[in-house]
Amino acid sequence: MWLAAPLTGLLVQPIIGYLSDRTWTGLGRRKPYFLVGAILSSLALIAMPNSSSLWMAAGLLWVLDASINISMEPFRAFVADMLPTEQQTRGYTMQSVFIGLALLLHRHYPG
């Protein structure tokens, strides 16, 4: 199980990054991936407490991890899409700060 998250990231992130760079829909380039990742994550979180076996829960955890990767890979590129070139460095910095703060808060207030 410890290898599931890194391996999933190695497989999913390059594929989603490639696809999101070439996607144009009515929702835009990145937003369909945000939506699909959020829906799949929600479904995995709803189904996980009702798992009938440990293997089912482990599989749903893997689906959850892949879904988070589907949402997060385009999220990083969204900064470059939305900001002018001179503001992108500051945008990436702010994005990293907010992600770090969320992790810090989650560590101190996990529930």
Residues 64, 56 contacting (CB under 8 angstroms): no
Residue 18's domain comprises: 4-108
- Residue 42 pLDDT exceeds 90: yes
Position 111 scores a pLDDT of 61
What are 79-99's pLDDT values in tens digits? 888 899 999 999 999 999 998
**Spatial CB neighbours of 73, under 8 Å, sequence gap ≥ 6:** 12, 13, 16, 17, 20, 33
- Residue 2 pLDDT exceeds 80: no
